[in-house]
A and B are shown apart, each in its own frame.
Chain A
């Protein structure tokens, strides 16, 4: 494909997004809550789109298509387990996060943990874990964009430039007007992701399956329809993803931004519908690719192989939809990490700084985070892949602390510190060394270790006074929400 087509498509896409971002900028007020949480005034529809576009990254159209291509419907099941578990956990946890944010003024999930356990070190530890695990994850998004642009143009757009375009666009959206701009432009990205996928589905169906897609695949590739993964692999991959929504800060920070309970309901339903449609479409692409372009050396190149058969216009739309998925994820990650670094780390070092100063540092960190992520992406290290996989697994170390914060008054700060640090070290060590004792994957061991230590140490130490008040207040969120409304 001629690189000029891609440049032109990117310019049009960026112009539309910038227009939306500019509208958001016009409504930008003052303060940290306004910038990082859109003043907690986001409605259900935008909430659903920003949550969906943040969660579903370029991994779907490249990584999951490749997983289905190689492993069949087991990969589909893995993504569905994530979706359904998330929906139930969202219904249980979002109202609690939301009411706690309204009552105590939290801006970041790590701030919530630090305040609930009455220990600032916990907020700092959680913040460091978030930053260490998520910068490599962001780099992988940039690597995907760089490889896709380079591959589609036959090197016409070099890797370094392809991986630089997206952070520049994401930087503009995030830096200019913070969360409101990111949420609004995420809605645009979400629509583009669905349009691109539906257009590709129509093309594939009409051109390659005139006698019906399902019957053709069932005949040509029946092995792809059989569940082929082993139990330990299924457990090791699914376990971190079941709790992914609670653990990833750019997602849980979105629980603070909603206007009211109606918006919470809208966000959860919208996310469920978006997630189901997008996951089914991506799965179909993987199965279709196994029939249309069998025998690829690298399963991850299945989408690129499909696009090479599509007309230029369609390939452009789908490519932009993959870029949209990347941008909507990375701008959310970087905005979230910037607020975390400003609030939970910088404020810990200088507790008396003004809100304006905190906002200044938070905004300053946005381009720095993008530069670090881009720098990582240029290394093209296999290690980045390992770190990326570790990111969801590593966050399992704080799961008991997070669940305990809302549901167990006995949970203590000492327990959180003594459980999360050894657990994250063990998870990282097992991943890097490739260890799977008893066949169990690192996140499983991490969760066992952190849960046992958290429970035992909590029972041996005294919880802070805030614990009972916090658990009671968030458990009675419905009654308390009425007083907020009144």
Chain B
């Protein structure tokens, strides 16, 4: 497994921890759109941007 892929695995682990901690630590107490709704909206936006950057950089030679 390459280093960039290890970063991907690490990102996966962080993401899972985040989505399993935040709901019970914070989102239980935020009955507003700026709470859970915004959190669950921003997470995929961030992941999509991260994945685009990852694939473009790591697979550069194969995308020419």
Name A's B-contacting residues (CB within 8 A): 73-74, 76-77, 80-81, 83-85, 87-89, 91-92, 95, 214, 217-218, 222-223, 225-229, 231, 234-235, 238, 242, 260-262, 265, 268-269, 272-273, 275-276, 279-280, 283, 407, 475, 478, 481-482, 485
Contact = CB atoms under 8 A, between A and B. Distances in A.
Given A77-B19, A269-B52, A407-B1, A226 B27 contact: yes
Contact of A268 (B9, B37, B55): B55
Interface of B: 1-2, 5, 8-9, 11-12, 15-16, 19-20, 23-24, 27-33, 35-37, 39-41, 43-45, 47-48, 51-52, 54-56, 59, 61-63
Contacts of B20: 234-235, 238
Given A77-B19, A269-B51, 10 more contacts: A73-B37, A85-B15, A87-B44, A87-B48, A95-B59, A226-B28, A276-B48, A283-B37, A475-B1, A478-B2
A88 B8 contact: yes
Contact of B44 (A83, A225, A268, A481): A83
Given A77-B19, A92-B9, A407-B1, A226 B62 contact: no
A276 B31 CA distance: 22
Contacts of B29: 226
B63 A225 contact: no
A269 B48 contact: yes
A265 B59 contact: yes
A358 to B, nearest CB: 32
B16 A85 contact: yes
Q: Is the interface of A mostly helix, strand, loop or mixed?
A: helix
A84 B13 CA distance: 12
Question: For A227, A235, A279, A475, which residue has the most chain B Cβ atoms within 10 angstroms?
Answer: A227
A269 B52 CA distance: 7
Contacts of A242: 16
Contact of B48 (A77, A227, A273, A283): A273
A234 B23 contact: yes
Contacts of B5: 92
A235 B43 CA distance: 18
A301 to B, nearest CB: 24
